[in-house]
Amino acid sequence: MELKILGTGCKKCRLLEQHTRQAVEKLGLEADIEKVEDIAAISEYNILQTPALVVDGEVRVSGKIPSARDIVKLLSE
């Protein structure tokens, strides 16, 4: 599984990364987690707000910070 955290490194972006790592650990998943902070790279995903969570190339969350529990549900789908 490939996960990307899109954001410029703000507090919200760091919190999304923390929640994502907690969810991956809880599920025991093999996942590559990458932080994408480059504005040009972020703009390729056509999102209006950061932070965003991309799961295997698909934007699943944008403009909010889901809880680790919510991310567990999302990754379990």
Q: Is 42 helix (H, G, I), strand (E, B) or coil?
A: helix
Q: What is the CATH number of the domain that holds 50?
A: 3.40.30.10
pLDDT of residue 52: 98
Domain housing 8: 2-76
Chain segment 11-54, per-residue pLDDT in tens: 999 999 999 999 999 999 999 999 999 999 999 999 999 999 99
What's the domain count of the chain? 1
pLDDT band at 6 (very low <50, low <70, confident <90, very high): very high
Q: In the predicted model, is pLDDT for residue 70 greater than 90?
A: yes
Residue 3 neighbours by CB under 8 Å, 6+ apart: 20, 24, 31, 32, 33, 34, 53, 54, 55
Specify whether 63 is catalytic: no
Q: Is 10 a catalytic residue?
A: yes
Order of strands across the sheet that contains 2-6: 32-36, 2-6, 52-55, 58-62
Per-residue model confidence (pLDDT) at position 74: 96
Phi, psi of 26 (to 5 degrees): -60, -40
Q: Which one from 3, 5, 13, 61 is the annotated catalytic residue?
A: 13
> Which of the four pLDDT bands, split at 50, 70 and 90, describes residue 77?
confident
From 1, 10, 29, 39, active-site residue: 10
